[in-house]
Structure 1
Amino acid sequence: MDRLTAARVFVEVAERGSLTRTAERLEMSPAMVSRYLAAMEGWVGARLLHRTTRRIGLTDAGEAVLTSCRHLLEIAEDVQHLAGNRNREPEGKLRIATSASFAEAQLTTAIVDFQNLHPRVQVELLATDRAVDLVEDRIDLAVRITNSLDPAVVARPLAQCRSVLCASSRYIERYGRPDSLESLKAHRFITHAFGAGAQYRFRYQGQSVEFPLTGTLFTNETSILRRAVLEGAGVGMLPTYYVGNDLRSGALVRLLPDYAPEPLGIHAVYLSRRHRPLALHHLLEFLVQRFRGELAPWDRDAT
């Protein structure tokens, strides 16, 4: 039996804690996964896993062998690339997750452009504002907008997410345009239920400034927040990747430009640098090239 495949199966089971999820990830039957695990244990001459009906854990020997297997797979990947793997056409299916607003405004077009270059790559794009579990949801790549990353995952910086405090022209005509934080207190706010929460954070003259607020409408979806602000319901903080056209057209008006909302990082997040699918490797490089720079593409022509 192929020892390299057996090592890959063992590493996947150790990381995912499930024979079923490993079988799905590697596109093989659970019975075949069990046979590869038995072959690994026969090869090293020791029991590698504790298995119960509820969970799978590593034995002491399994902990030691896991490190060696990971190293073996890293070497194998290097050999594949040296043998010309970089020039091979990527193929297969990738499951990608990101927020609905970023998928709509930026990522969908990027993926379509990527598939035009690599038509043999299939993509399943999941749009959700919850932080998906890469293992449980079998996600190959998540694009996350946050300054707090899980240290257990690998994160590749793509760009910065800048936001803008804004209101519609209709709202300003009715309530006036604030010219200071003090005058801002008199206004109505539309807020993201899982975003800024009960306060905004700004940078002003090199200092961090917090502004407490009481919202009149809360939502967990950026598109709803944008729509409410466009309809004149109140002041909102929205990402420039999503409202750039609204700002350029005058539908939304930037408020207090000297107070810059705290930026967030946009990261490509995945489980491991080891034995990445070739399609994932190419997609990562494509996204880095597309979004990188001192300013993200959507901010370069901002007004």
Structure 2
Amino acid sequence: MLERLNEALEHIESHLGQRIEVGEMARIAVTSEYHFRRMFSALAGVSLSEYIRRRRLTMAGAEVLAGERTLLEIAVRYGYSSGEAFARAFRAMHGVGPGEARRTGAALRSQQRISFRLIVEGSSSMRYRVVEKEQFRVVGKKARVPLIHEGANPAIAEFIRSIDKETMRRIAALSDQEPAGIVGVSDGLDPSRAEGTELDYYHGVVTRADAPGSAPEDLDGLTVPAGTWAVFESSGPFPQTLQYLWRDVFTQWFPSNPYQSRPGPEILRTRLSQDAAHADAELWIPVERAAT
């Protein structure tokens, strides 16, 4: 898998001055476009689109300083429709405009080429199982929140505090299947997984799609089609354990197993210690068999 990802990275480098089709990169990596974006952001720590933007502006910066092409020629070469758009993007990355950089020979920033390699530690094993689920519903309260990669998500914490105890009691009573009890459900994530992009967060339970009374009018619901789920378990400090669990799933488990992620909500069941310092977590990721 990593070898194929590196071949896709070579495709980026050979097409920086052309239109880059993510579908073609996914084909090279022998996976879906959805999974390719997810894998890249997990492994690289930056979204695919942001990496391509930085690489183009790195190469454009070298050409600006070389002085062999006009600024407009460089702008067009790297996909910008106008000199103004190129100048804005250039300044955002390098901290100086292209004209000034050429006149003064300013120091510019560089996005180094990424390559992936597997580091085998072998110090721990990941507990997981694969589950087939029929169609079900998530029922609870929903909020639109930003994605946060490190630390607690204050928007989610504030949203949960805003739900009164009686509403939470009614929601909890609707749980009738795995994962049992109150869960956090993330849906509609941007494929880039870029920090700050928004998602729909449900604080609720999983219940049968046809269960009587499973859709009270004052609650939000999400119908989830039947499919395959990989379920991962982990324990440790909160909230790092939850964030590291997601990271390890995409950087360790997927490259080593014949599955790829598929579109769908991610479900997290968390049980905190009394002092909220420790968490037992169960993460449900929608998956499908990978192409071979």
TM-score > 0.5, shorter chain as reference: no
| TM-score (normalised: structure 1) | 0.20
| TM-score (normalised: structure 2) | 0.21
